[in-house]
Structure 1
Amino acid sequence: MRIVIAGGSGFIGEKLSNLLVKEGHKVIILTRKERDKSEGITYVRWLSEGTTPEKELENIDAIINLAGVSINDGRWTEKHKEKIVQSRMIATDELIRIVERLPHKPSIFMNASAIGIYPVSLEATYTEASKVKPNDFLGRTVLEWERKAEQLSDKYNIRTTFMRFGVVLGKEGGALPLMTLPYKLLAGGTIGSGKQWVSWIHVEDVVRAISFVIKNNGMHGPINVTAPSPVRMKAFGKTIGTVLGRPHWFPVPSFAMRLALGEKSKLVLEGQKVVPFVLLENKFEFLYPKLDLALKDLLK
């Protein structure tokens, strides 16, 4: 297949590109910078003055949209929040424009999303069938992003999926390096109340899930990309300590996190219990279904 990735040089995109090439696909990465072609990967410039990427994207089979400013980068000032939203809206609008101009439409459009679309809760368990009523910045951003991407399904009947990522764990990026640092300094402990849910997933299972969905034509709409065993924050921290052989004893109070991170502290002080019902129903096999397995692979 000829697969286009927007945001293909990021934390998830790079691993996804490598997997797809390994599986024999031709990968086209949309980029703002000039890059040399590498084995199995072609780079096409977009979102820059004078670029017309649609001329180089004929006969593509799939588009994967991972583009957008990371929610983990920088403090959530009003200016930075605007960048988070606009980077996603602008990239998605451009992908819609490109598809409209392609005589041969892709069979699937995969849009990144996030479990932040589900309301924060200590008791609820969310599946893809759960109602979403976002009441905070992240939730509203995700809902707006999904609605924009859905235009391709409405206009052209293209199979469209919303990959609702949980807390993605990896060595090179995501939340894990920051979460493990206190333990490596012998200062690890429970963050906030410790009762908040962490719906996590190993980055290798993220990219495998994306590949799996591409191949399964019956899968569309929201898809929770989380491991089947979410845990509470206290258990998450204790597991890090156990795997690293470090103590879990210095609690980090909520007020300290809010002081340090501002509104972004919600990413660690609040959470949702999310299960990947659609992936499990379609017999996707996780390499790392349990947290200790994932952390042993990433931290040892």
Structure 2
Amino acid sequence: MKIVIAGGSGFIGQKLTNFLIEKGHEIVILTRTAQKPLQNVTYVKWLSEGSSPEKEISHADVFINFAGVSINKGRWDKKHQKQIYESRMRATKELIRIIRELDERPGVLINASAIGIYPASNQAVYTENSDEIADDFLGRTVHDWEKQAKQAEAAGLRAVFLRFGVVLGVEGGALPLMVLPYKLFAGGTVGTGEQWVSWVHVDDVIRVILFAIENQQIHGPVNVTAPAPVRMADFGKTIGSVLHRPHWLPVPSFAMKCVLGEKSALVLEGQHVVPEILRREGFQFTFPVLRQALEDLLL
């Protein structure tokens, strides 16, 4: 297939590109800066003055959208929140415009999303049928992002919104920061420890993306989380056990709020999310259990 990726330079985007190339697919990466083409990879400028990517893209089968300012970098002040929100809205709106301008439109848009759309809860269990939306910055951002991407359906595409949980990998995401205290023999429970961590190994994320592309009956929201979420306290204890480090020094909630501000909700609050659609469609996780995933990544 010919697959167009927006946001292909990020943590997941880079691993996805390499994976798809190994599978024999042709990749087009939308980028703000000109780059020399590589084998099976073409770079097309977009979101910059004078760029007309629709004139350089033809016969694309799939569009994938990961574009947007990272939620993991920087403190969530009003300026950064505005950048997170507006970067996603602008990129997705531009993708829809490009698709509509193409003489031959792709069959599917795979759009990144997040389980942050669900309200934080220590009791609720969320599936794709859950219609509660978190009344906070992340919940509103994800809701509006999916709404913008859903316009692809009016252009005749199948639209899939991959609601990522906490993606575990060594090259990026949250895991390196979560592991660091344990490597320094200072690991312990963050906050109450009762909050849920709905995690997923990055290799399973990559496989889910291709699974969603190839299975045409999949559309709308898809929870991309391993089938066995854990409480934060258990998450930390498992890191300690895998690394043979103590789990003893708690990090109180007020300390996290002082350091991270509103962004502290990412670690102090959580959601128990299950991948109901992936389970129904027969997707097999390579890493369904946390210890197995951490051993693969950390040892």
TM-score (norm 2): 0.99
Structure 2 Cα separation of the partners of residues 7 and 184 of structure 1: 31
Structure 2 Cα separation of the partners of residues 281 and 25 of structure 1: 27
Deviations 1:26-63 (A, max 9, x none): 01000011111112111111111101001111110000
Deviations 1:191-212 (A, max 9, x none): 0000000000000100110001
The one-letter amino acid paired with 1:58 is: S
Deviations 1:85-132 (A, max 9, x none): 000001001101101100111100011000000011000110001113
Structure 2 Cα separation of the partners of residues 120 and 165 of structure 1: 15
Structure 2 Cα separation of the partners of residues 284 and 138 of structure 1: 28
Q: Which runs of 5+ in 2 are unaligned?
A: none
Structure 1 Cα separation of the partners of residues 273 and 185 of structure 2: 31
Structure 2 Cα separation of the partners of residues 102 and 119 of structure 1: 38
Determine the structure 2 residue equivalent to 1:69.
69
Structure 1 Cα separation of the partners of residues 23 and 216 of structure 2: 18
Deviation at 1:6, TM superposition (A): 0.2
1:167 and 2:166 equivalent? yes
1:112 and 2:148 equivalent? no
SS of the aligned residue for 1:89 comes to helix
Aligned length: 299
Structure 2 Cα separation of the partners of residues 194 and 39 of structure 1: 47
SS of the aligned residue for 1:150 comes to helix
Structure 2 Cα separation of the partners of residues 103 and 268 of structure 1: 45
1:234 and 2:233 equivalent? yes
The one-letter amino acid paired with 1:230 is: P
Deviation at 1:250, TM superposition (A): 0.1
The one-letter amino acid paired with 1:19 is: F
SS of the aligned residue for 1:42 comes to strand
Structure 2 Cα separation of the partners of residues 133 and 108 of structure 1: 25
The one-letter amino acid paired with 2:134 is: P
The one-letter amino acid paired with 1:145 is: W
The one-letter amino acid paired with 2:76 is: W
Deviations 1:202-243 (A, max 9, x none): 001001100011000100000000100000000000000000
Structure 2 Cα separation of the partners of residues 148 and 295 of structure 1: 35
Q: How does 1:1-300 map to 2 (within 5 A)?
A: 1-153=1-153, 155-300=154-299
The one-letter amino acid paired with 1:47 is: L
Calculate percent identity across the aligned residue pairs: 62
More moved, 264-273 vs 55-64: 55-64
Deviation at 1:168, TM superposition (A): 0.4
The one-letter amino acid paired with 2:284 is: E
Structure 1 consecutive aligned stretches of length 4 or more whose deviation exceeds 6 Å = none
Structure 2 Cα separation of the partners of residues 27 and 278 of structure 1: 27
Structure 1 Cα separation of the partners of residues 20 and 27 of structure 2: 7
RMSD between aligned residues: 0.6
Deviation at 1:156, TM superposition (A): 2.0
Structure 2 Cα separation of the partners of residues 276 and 270 of structure 1: 19
Structure 2 Cα separation of the partners of residues 204 and 92 of structure 1: 25
Deviation at 1:134, TM superposition (A): 2.0
TM-score (norm 1): 0.99
The one-letter amino acid paired with 1:37 is: P
Structure 2 Cα separation of the partners of residues 298 and 40 of structure 1: 28
Deviation at 1:133, TM superposition (A): 2.1
Structure 2 Cα separation of the partners of residues 62 and 132 of structure 1: 30
Structure 1 Cα separation of the partners of residues 36 and 281 of structure 2: 38
Q: Which runs of 5+ in 1 are unaligned?
A: none
